[in-house]
């Protein structure tokens, strides 16, 4: 991603605000830790369980963002019907969260990925704050490159200390080929994501679209005959609540 985004970032120019680089470093640290925990949890509890836990972060992010943009809360409160609907959705999400709590499989997953939920809630907020320090034309690719550079340094430190894989595996043809393929797709995805974060008024709204992966994973499980004994209905309820926030916001 660093290699692919650098020429574009260099052409568009880099921001001069110090805050941009400070917030980007914070974001990079959050996502580095997130990735370690996330990819260790998936083989243990399955992608389906994790994908239905993560939408809880949208509810958290939706509330936390008002501390950064209190004027947005005032805007919502000026419309009593909208404000009432938002409160009802949050309360309903609490109900589904309590239902998930009684599911042993889901709780096992939550104990493994609780930091991922927090990261998914706070990460986009930090990303949006960092992007706010840069002009819209420069922000997406400059942010992608800068964040990638910070993450490279963090990953190098982690690799040197923990040695998660051998050099033979790390530099194998399969790893290089896979890394390049993922890098190309990730650049396109993150370029669009950061562009969307610049223009959406609330970062939680974008997260809702990303978390529809829970539905796609259920379809994949059904097609492949893979079993999932967790409380799927409660997890989908959380996904629905997250999506409802977008619909209510648009009223």
pLDDT tens string, the chain, 251 residues long: the values are 888 889 988 888 888 889 999 999 999 999 999 988 988 888 888 877 887 777 777 777 777 777 877 877 777 777 888 778 877 877 777 777 667 666 777 788 888 888 988 888 888 888 888 888 877 777 788 888 999 999 999 989 998 898 888 888 888 999 999 988 988 888 888 888 878 777 776 666 666 666 677 777 778 888 888 777 666 777 677 777 777 776 676 55
Residue 71: other Cβ atoms inside 10 A: 7
Domain range enclosing 228? 2-249
Q: Which residues lie closer than 8 Å to 6 by C-beta, 6 or more apart?
A: 145
Q: Residue 105 region, left (φ>0) first, then alpha (ψ -120 to 50), else beta?
A: alpha
Number of domains in the chain: 1
Which position has the token pair 């930091």? 115
Residue 156: other Cβ atoms inside 10 A: 10
Q: Which residues lie closer than 8 Å to 216 by C-beta, 6 or more apart?
A: none
- Give Cα 173 distance to the centre of its chain: 29
The DSSP code sequence of 25-93 is HHHHHHHHHHHHHHHHHHHHH-HHHHHHHTTHHHHHHHHHHHHH-HHHHHHHHTSHHHHHHHHHHHHHH
């Amino acid at each position: 991603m660093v290699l692919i985004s650098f020429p574009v970032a260099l052409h568009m120019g880099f921001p001069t605000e110090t805050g941009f680089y400070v917030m980007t470093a914070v974001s990079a640290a959050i996502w580095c830790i997130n990735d370690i925990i996330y990819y260790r949890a998936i083989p243990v509890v399955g992608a389906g369980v994790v994908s239905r836990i993560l939408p809880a972060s949208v509810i958290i992010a939706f509330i936390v963002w008002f501390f950064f943009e209190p004027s947005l809360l005032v805007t919502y409160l000026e419309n009593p019907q909208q404000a009432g609907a938002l409160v009802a959705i949050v309360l309903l999400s609490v109900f589904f969260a309590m239902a998930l709590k009684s599911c042993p499989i889901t709780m096992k997953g939550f104990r493994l990925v609780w930091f991922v939920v927090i990261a998914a809630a706070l990460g986009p907020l930090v990303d949006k704050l960092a992007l706010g320090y840069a002009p819209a034309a420069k922000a997406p690719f400059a942010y992608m490159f800068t964040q990638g550079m910070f993450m490279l340094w963090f990953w190098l430190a982690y690799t040197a200390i923990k040695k998660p894989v051998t050099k033979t595996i790390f530099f194998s043809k399969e790893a290089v080929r896979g890394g390049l393929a993922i890098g190309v797709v990730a650049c396109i995805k993150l370029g669009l994501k950061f562009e969307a974060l610049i223009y959406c008024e609330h970062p939680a709204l974008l997260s809702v679209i990303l978390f529809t992966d829970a539905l796609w994973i259920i379809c994949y499980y059904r097609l492949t005959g893979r079993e999932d004994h967790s409380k799927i209905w409660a997890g989908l309820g959380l996904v629905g609540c997250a999506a409802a926030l977008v619909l209510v916001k648009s009223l």
